[in-house]
Amino acid sequence: MTERGTGTWRLRAYAGRDPLTGSPIQEHRIFKGSEMAAGKALAALVTEVESRDLRQEPGQRRPAAGPVACPRRCDGQGPAQDGLRVPRRKIEGRIRPALGDVALAQLDAGTLDAWHQQWLALGLSPSTVPVYHPILSAACQQAVRWAMLDRAPTELASPPSPKPPTMRVPTPAQLAELIQAAEPADRVLAAAIVLAALTGARRGELVALRWSDVDLELGTVTIERGITVVGRQAVERLTKTHQSRRVALDDLGVGLLRRHWRFVTSRSELVESPLVEDPYVLSYQAHSGISVNPDTPIERAV
């Protein structure tokens, strides 16, 4: 019985050993009340545990074996779920196969550091491996809050320091060659290259641009929205920073966008598919009413 705060007690009762790992199994409870009442609650917990057979057959692990095996993980609902796609992919791809069967009692800094090195040995870059640590840390911190751990082992682990990749920025001549090579095969891709180079916008922001955001007279592009894909459905929202920004274009950029506008309107007229009221700048549809997929900007949307 451990006091976690005034009138708050953590109760733990020994419940045998895990048949697969041999590590102790403990039942946890959080109790609020006086010390005497907490003592009675602990006695009741011990009685409850002793009345149950908590021994498991081999292969039948306890639900909370490890922090990433716990059923109460990042499975919430709501608009923030698209932000969980990448962590989920990392959990299922690397973390769970490596640590999902490790009992919480056996999860320590040494085990985590060993897997840091193993991931590096498997070919993951020093910039990729450190991104797993915050996910593990969040899971372990949650286990502490649920009284499954006394301390998060991630606090003592030493993930490799991230090494930012060396940026390779194309020269103006190389950019011109790239645009010239793209235009004959894919006019939309060529326009995407132009916009990316001139605005520095994210992919989701680029594909969300509509012609109402482009002022060819003033030579500006206003970026105030982004598109993300959630469950195979495109969702349009405000930018990541929730702020709009206006970017000035040079004469070359204005000229290239004017040419792209002529292409968009002529394509629409050619197949007799009128443009929608506020068409997307980057669209493979003749009516320009469907944007390019931000996850596959060089593939044609269907």
pLDDT for 67 equals: 53
pLDDT of residue 79: 42
- C-alpha–C-alpha distance, residues 77 and 70, integer Å: 17
pLDDT of residue 60: 39
The domain 79-155: what is its CATH number? 1.10.150.130
State the pLDDT at residue 286. Answer: 93
204, HSE (Cβ side, Cα atoms, 13 Å):
16
Per-residue model confidence (pLDDT) at position 273:
93
Question: Consecutive 10-residue runs of the chain (302 residues): their mean pLDDT?
Answer: 83 71 72 86 81 45 48 43 67 85 85 89 83 88 84 89 76 87 89 89 90 93 85 74 84 90 94 93 92 68 34
pLDDT score of 165: 67
What's the chain's length in residues? 302
Q: Read out DSSP for 123-179?
A: T--TTTGGGHHHHHHHHHHHHHHTTS-SS-GGGT--PPPP-PPPP-PPPHHHHHHHH
Beta-bridge partners for 166: none
When computed from its CA atoms, the radius of gyration of the chain, rounded to whole angstroms, is: 28
Tell how strand 214-215 and strand 220-223 pair up. Answer: antiparallel
Could you report the per-residue pLDDT of 232-264, keeping only the tens digit for each? 677 788 776 677 889 998 888 899 899 999 999
Give pLDDT, residue 71: 41
Mean residue pLDDT across the chain: 80
Cα distances (angstroms) measured from residue 179 to each of 104, 118, 167, 257: 54, 41, 20, 12
